Structure 1
Amino acid sequence: MSRHYDVEAVRKEFPAAERIVYLDSGFQAPLARPVMAAIETFLREGLETAGPKSVWLDRVEQTRAKVARFLGVSADEIAFTKNTSESMNIAANALPLRAGDSVLMIHGDHPNNTYAFLNLKKKGVRIDFLPMTDVVNAEAFLPYIDDTTRAISLSHVTFHAGHRFDIESIGALCADKKLYFVVDVMQAIGVVPIDVKAIQATFVGCGSHKGLLVPQGLGLLYWNQTLKELEPAYLAAASLAEIPDDLIARPDRLASSPTARRFELGNFNLPAIHALGASLDMIEQIGVKNIQNHCFDLGDHLLAQLDDLGVSLIGPRQRQHRSPHIYVVGLPATEWLSYFEENGVRVSPERDGIRISFGMFNTIDDVDRLVHLIRGRLSKKSFKAA
C-alpha cells in the first residue's frame, strides 16, 4: 500500500518487479509495459512501412515539449544527447572558460561530471574541490569563491550515498556572483521534483535510464537560452540556425541555432525518444511529488528496520538532506552482494556498502524481504554489519 498512489496498479506495469525484489533503480530502471509498447510501435512502423520519418520527427518534437513542461522551461531550451556524460561535456566545453579561470566541484561526486571539467585543465582551467559532507549548500561554497571562480558544477543527488544538495541556494549564489551553474540531475529526475527556473542553472543534464524509465542511450540537456554566448564545441548541419536546403556547406553561414538544438548533431535515438514520451506520460499521471513521497516512506521504513538491526546508514538521514530513493547500508559488498542475488534481491555494490535504490513500483513488502534476509544472516555469528 501507499498513501500517495495505487502502487499495486503501478507495479503491474513492471513485470521484473514481480519476478525479483528489484531495489536497483539507481543503476537502471526495469522496463515498464507502456515504455515497451512505445518502442514496439516504433519498430513495427519501421518493419511495416520502412519508417515514417516525418511522423517520427514530429514525435521527437512532441517529446521535447513534454520534457520542457516536465522541467518548467521552454522547448527551445531542451536538447537531446546520448547520456549524462555527453551532456556534461557539452556544458563544460560551451562555457567561455580561459586559462586562469577556476571551477568549483564536490570531491567524490560522479566521475563523468568531474572528468568533463578536469579535461579543461589542458586549457589552463583550474578545478577546485569542496569536501563531500551531508549538507552542501550556498554557505558551503561561499568560502571557496575568489576572483578566478567562473562556474560551479555538481549533482543534485549523489549516486553513491544519496546526498541531496541544496541546488536552489547554490543557484541563487551563482546568480549573485555571476557564475555559471551546471547541474547533473541523473539520480534525481523522475523521482525528485525539479523546477529548473528556480535552480537558476546555466545547464542541466542527465540520462534517462533511471528515474525516467528509458533504456540506455538517451540524454537530455537544458540550456538557459538567455546566455547566447554559450556556443557548441562542434558543428553539424542540425545545429545551424539555417540548414542549407541543398545540404551544401557554406563557410559564410555558420551561425548556431538560436535554440538548444545548437548542441545537437542530428540522427536522434528515435526508439528511446518514443519511449521517453511514454514514460513521461506515466510519471506525470502518478505525479513526481507522489513518487518522491512514496520513496521517502519506504526509506523511513528501511531506516527504522536498519536501526533495529544495528546496521549503519552511509550518508544523510534527514529528509531535507537525503534523496528519497537512494540508501547505502553498512554491509560489505564483497560479503553481501552475492547473498542478495542468490535470494532474488537486486541491489548494487557501492563505495562503502550496499546501495538500495527504490523505484515507483517498490513496496513495503520489498523492504521487509530485504530486511528479513539481513536479519537472518546477521543472526549467524560469522556475519556482522560493517
Structure 2
Amino acid sequence: MALLDNAEIRNHFPATGNMLYLDAAHQTPLSTPVRAQLDAFYDQAQNTAGPKAGWLARIEEVRAQLARLLGVGADEIAFTKNTSEGINIAAHGLGWKPGDNMVMLKSEHPNNAYAWLSQRSAGLEVRQIPEDKKWADAETFAPYVDGNTRAIALSHVMFHSGQRNDVESIVELARSVGAEVVLDAMQSVGVLPVDAGALGVSALSAGSHKGLLIPQGLGFLYTAVGTDVLAPTYVGTAGVANARTDLVAGPEAVELRPNAHRFEIGNFNLPAIHALGGALDLIESVGMPAIAGHLLSLGDRLIEHLDRLGIDLVGPRERERRSHIYVLALTDAAWPLYLTEAGVRLSPVRGGLRVSFGVYNNAADVDRLAEILERGLRTGRTATAA
C-alpha cells in the first residue's frame, strides 16, 4: 500500500512542526478540526449557557458517525469515560457464577487485567496465560478453556508490542465452549479498520484519545447482546426505557433499554463528544483503509532501517500481525534521554522503545528517526542494540 500524501493533514497537527512526534499509542496531539469543535462548544456554553436540545442532538449525530466507523448500529454504542469503564461493565455484567473462569494473556494491559482480577473475591477464577508466539490466536487459548470458561478477554492490538491478535479465531474458540469475548480495542480503533459486528465479540471497549484523535476523557462500549448476557451494574435515567418525562421515578418495574444505551447513566462528556465529531470528520475524509495502509507502510520503512542498523523489533514483522506500534529492542537507560534531547517524543515500554505512528506522520519522520538512532549508535552516546 502506498503512503498518503499527507502534507495537508500534517498542517492540522501543529505539534508535528515542534517535535518528532512518534507517540500515538500514548495519545495523539490536538488537531485544528478537533480544536475548532471544542472552541465552538465552549463559545455556545459561554454565550448562551448551551442549547440543551442541540447538544443532545449532537450526541446522537456523533454516535451515528462512530457507529459507521465500526460498521454497527448507533443503538449498539454506549458512551463511557474510557476503555477501563467499558471493560469493567463487561467484567461485572456477564452472568458468571462462582466456579466459572475467564482467560487472558499475562501480558495484558493492567486496565484490562484489574477489571477481571477484582472479581476473584466473588468466586471467578482468572487464568492468566503465557503467549506462545508473537501474537495470540485460538491455539494460544485452547489449552486453558473448558466448559466453565465464561469469558476470554484480550486486546486487539497490544500496547507493549504492537502485535495484532487473531480475534476471529479466538471468537470461534470461545463460541465452541459457550464463552463470551471482551475486546480492548484502544490501540486499534482509528488505526485499523475495525468491523465490530463482523468480529463477533460480545463487547468491545475503547477510549478516544489515541486513534480517534481527541483529548482524554471519552470512551465507548459496543455490544449487540441483550441483558440476558450483559447487564448493567449501574442504572440511571439514560438507561431506562420507561423513564417518565416528568422525571418522577414511580413504583412501576424498571425497564432497561434493550440496546447498549442501557449502560449510559447520563451527564455526557459534551465537549469531548463535540471534539470526536471533528475527529471523525477528518478520519472519514481520509478513509480507514488509507489510514491503515499508510501506517503499515511507515512500519515497512522503519523495519528496513532497523534491519540496516542491526536493531531488533520486539513485535511481529508480518504485516497482517502488525499495527502502528513498533517496539525497538533498545533497553539501555540512556536511550530515552538521548532521544528526548534530539527532539523525539516516544514511550519506553516493557521490551524497549515504542515508536507509534499517527496519520500525521510521514516517510521523512521515519528517516529522521533512523538518522538519530544511527548517530546514537555511532557516537556511543548510548549502548548498542539489545
Interval containing the TM-score (normalised by the shorter chain) = over 0.9
Query: Any unmatched runs of 5+ in structure 2?
Result: none
| Counterpart position of 2:259 | 259
The one-character-per-residue Cα deviations of 1:66-112 (angstroms, maximum 9, x if unpaired) are 11111111111100000001111011111001100000101111111
CA contact (8 A) 1:168 1:200 kept: yes
Q: Find the aligned partners of 2:236 and 2:243 in 1 and give their Cα distance.
A: 9
Check if 1:159 corresponds to 2:154.
no
CA contact (8 A) 1:231 1:256 kept: no
**AA partner of residue 329 (structure 1):** L
Give the TM-score taking structure 2 as reference length.
Answer: 0.96
| Counterpart position of 2:137 | 137
CA contact (8 A) 2:227 2:258 kept: no
CA contact (8 A) 1:21 1:344 kept: yes
1:169-208 → structure 2 map (5 Å cutoff): 169-208=169-208
CA contact (8 A) 1:172 1:199 kept: no
Q: Find the aligned partners of 2:332 and 2:351 in 1 and give their Cα distance.
A: 8
The one-character-per-residue Cα deviations of 1:22-54 (angstroms, maximum 9, x if unpaired) are 000000001111111011110111111111111
Q: Find the aligned partners of 1:3 and 1:291 in 2 and give their Cα distance.
A: 10
CA contact (8 A) 1:102 1:151 kept: yes
Give the TM-score taking structure 1 as reference length.
Answer: 0.96
Shift of 1:277: 1.1
Q: What SS does structure 1 have at the residue aligned with 2:136?
A: coil
CA contact (8 A) 1:85 1:116 kept: yes
**AA partner of residue 129 (structure 1):** Q
Check if 1:318 corresponds to 2:313.
no
Q: Find the aligned partners of 2:164 and 2:229 in 1 and give their Cα distance.
A: 30
1:235-246 → structure 2 map (5 Å cutoff): 235-246=235-246
The one-character-per-residue Cα deviations of 1:327-360 (angstroms, maximum 9, x if unpaired) are 1101126211111111111010111211000000
Shift of 1:226: 4.5
Distance 1:127-1:89 versus aligned 2 partners, 3 A rule: same
| Counterpart position of 1:25 | 24
CA RMSD of aligned residues (A): 1.4
CA contact (8 A) 2:226 2:258 kept: no
1:220-299 → structure 2 map (5 Å cutoff): 220-226=220-226, 228-299=228-299
Q: Find the aligned partners of 1:86 and 1:195 in 2 and give their Cα distance.
A: 21
**AA partner of residue 264 (structure 2):** E
Q: Which consecutive segments of 4 or more residues in structure 1 shift more than 3 A?
A: 225-229
| Identical positions, percent | 47
Shift of 1:200: 0.5
| Counterpart position of 1:120 | 119
Check if 1:357 corresponds to 2:365.
no
**AA partner of residue 7 (structure 1):** N
1:53-92 → structure 2 map (5 Å cutoff): 53-92=52-91
Q: Find the aligned partners of 1:32 and 1:378 in 2 and give their Cα distance.
A: 34
Q: Find the aligned partners of 1:137 and 1:354 in 2 and give their Cα distance.
A: 25
**AA partner of residue 130 (structure 1):** I
Shift of 1:246: 2.4
CA contact (8 A) 2:215 2:272 kept: yes
CA contact (8 A) 1:333 1:354 kept: no
CA contact (8 A) 2:10 2:361 kept: yes
| Counterpart position of 2:46 | 47
| Counterpart position of 1:217 | 217
Shift of 1:248: 2.4
CA contact (8 A) 1:175 1:200 kept: no
CA contact (8 A) 1:333 1:349 kept: no
CA contact (8 A) 2:138 2:169 kept: yes
Q: After the TM superposition, which of the residue ranges 137-146 and 358-367 deviates more from structure 2? A: 137-146
CA contact (8 A) 1:333 1:350 kept: no
Q: Find the aligned partners of 2:190 and 2:249 in 1 and give their Cα distance.
A: 40
